[in-house]
Amino acid sequence: MKKSTRLRQLLAKKEIIVAPGCFDALTAMLIEKAGFSASYMSGYGVSAGLLGMPDMGLTTMTEIHTVARYTANAVEIPVIADSDTGYGNAINVIRCIREYIQTGIAGIHLEDQVTPKRCGHISGKELVPIEEAVGKYRAAAKTRDEYDKDFVIIARTDARGAMGGGLDEAINRANAYLEAGADIAFVEAPTSLEEIKRVVDEVNGPLFYNCTGISPLLPVEQLQELGFSIVIYPGAGLAATVKGVYDLMADIKERGTEAMVDFRKSMGGHFLEDFNAFLGVQEVRKWEGEFLPDEQVQKKYEASLGYKL
């Protein structure tokens, strides 16, 4: 089954989809292992992890698509990806949607900022005119319908915090984008429960919530009651990685090998203790036995043992 079809089935259940943020294949695999039904590939996370730079329009479509392809193919659960502004005008969006469909990603969100864009929770955002944005969502919807009707298009508007915008403008744009063919509306960066309730009451379609930054960190149950279809925690995987790696490196710098000994002890009984098994070493060995000549297989095992059998 296509990942896009799987995502559509999850949406049809009317139970909110909780999608923590990944930024590469490995973090997506960990999210799947933890039991989540979907993951969200964060543009912020990819920019930080791949480039070591902020989410301010510095990643290219090729870079993002490469990470998206690896990520989507590493897991069985559907992955929703950040596609920034579609990397240009409506014509660029046509190519963008085709490329994302080919990666195996289940859906994307597309923003109405100017190019280069910036993270939705960083100040200084600027919007393209609504007429231009509507054209981009129309192009996205038409391309979806031609190549994969199940592919999910999420229309993100940054009007709430953009120059010359505001909540009224954000709601107006969200409705216009849904009318243009988007599947789900994503009003970025509301700052209070009152604003969130206005979005729920006044946007005429399914809703997507970003549980991060300046927006209230509402419980999943409350977001479900309000009527949201998807909630993401985009920085979750990145933040855990940064903290975990830094804390361990600082400990090794201070205590050397003793820190690694203690760290390994702390892993006792955890599935990551056998990380090779998690990555699929046994499956690769099975393929070797099934498809490689016996002579090659024996040489590989002899090399791993350090002596001839």
DSSP 127: B
Residue 249 CA to residue 233 CA, distance in Å, equals: 26
Question: In the annotation, is 63 catalytic?
Answer: no
Catalytic residue among 24, 32, 84, 112, which? Answer: 84
Catalytic residue among 24, 32, 55, 150, which? Answer: 55
Asked, as a colleague might, if the bond just before 116 is cis with ω within 30 of 0, I would say: yes
Question: In the annotation, is 96 catalytic?
Answer: no
Q: Facing residues of 109 across strands?
A: 82, 154
Catalytic residue among 24, 32, 111, 158, which? Answer: 111
- The answer to whether 254 touches 42, Cβ cutoff 8 Å, is no
Catalytic residue among 8, 109, 121, 173, which? Answer: 109
Catalytic residue among 8, 22, 40, 144, which? Answer: 40
| Cα–Cα nearest to 114, from 91, 141, 86 | 86
The residue length of the chain stands at 309
Question: In the annotation, is 40 catalytic?
Answer: yes
Question: In the annotation, is 148 catalytic?
Answer: no
- The answer to whether 229 touches 22, Cβ cutoff 8 Å, is no
Catalytic residue among 82, 158, 183, 195, which? Answer: 82
Residue 49 CA to residue 187 CA, distance in Å, equals: 26
Catalytic residue among 44, 173, 210, 233, which? Answer: 210
DSSP 112: -
Question: In the annotation, is 156 catalytic?
Answer: yes
Dihedrals φ, ψ of 272, to 5°?
A: -75, -10
Question: In the annotation, is 111 catalytic?
Answer: yes
Question: In the annotation, is 138 catalytic?
Answer: no
Beta-sheet pairing, 152-157 with 184-187: parallel
Catalytic residue among 8, 65, 121, 156, which? Answer: 156
Catalytic residue among 22, 65, 96, 119, which? Answer: 119
The residues, any chain, with a CB within 8 Å of residue 102's CB and separated by 6 or more, are none
Catalytic residue among 137, 188, 195, 233, which? Answer: 188
Question: Which ranges of the chain does DSSP label H, i.e. alpha helix?
Answer: 3-12, 25-33, 43-46, 61-74, 90-103, 130-147, 167-179, 193-202, 220-226, 236-255, 257-266, 275-279, 281-291, 294-305
Question: In the annotation, is 247 catalytic?
Answer: no
Residue 218 CA to residue 211 CA, distance in Å, equals: 7
Max distance between CA atoms of the chain, in angstroms, equals 75
Query: Which residues are catalytic, by number?
Result: 40, 55, 82, 84, 109, 111, 119, 156, 188, 210
